[in-house]
Amino acid sequence: MELGETMLDSASARAVEEEIEAGAEAAEGVNAAQAEQERGQPDVSVGLLIKAMERERESLDLLVQGFDALRQSFEERRRALEQQEEILNELADHLNS
């Protein structure tokens, strides 16, 4: 594995970890908003829901970044495999001639 692939894999893993954390924070915000609404604090619950929505958007953005990084990694690996195949074919042709 090349250094670029390692860095890309690390970035993907980090993005997924951040997404999980942001998703958990959004879920906590929704739970807190529900609790505040049950206590009769609708103004607090609205604020908590807005924050939860913002967290969820951040979470989705991080997921998209992770998918983009994975897609790029797959494309780079596919190109590397194609190059290896070309080299092997050339070697086989050379050995057969």
Residue 66 binned pLDDT confidence (cut-offs 50, 70, 90): confident
Q: Residue 45: left if φ>0, alpha if ψ -120 to 50, beta else—which one?
A: alpha
Confidence at residue 48, expressed as pLDDT on a 0 to 100 scale: 78
How many structural domains are present in the chain? 1
Closest CA to 8 of 71, 84, 83, 64: 71
Where residue 85 falls among pLDDT bands split at 50, 70, 90? very high
Domain that holds residue 62: 3-96
- For residues 55-80, give the mean pLDDT: 89
2-34: pLDDT as tens digits: 555 566 567 667 767 776 777 777 777 777 777
Residue 2 pLDDT? 55
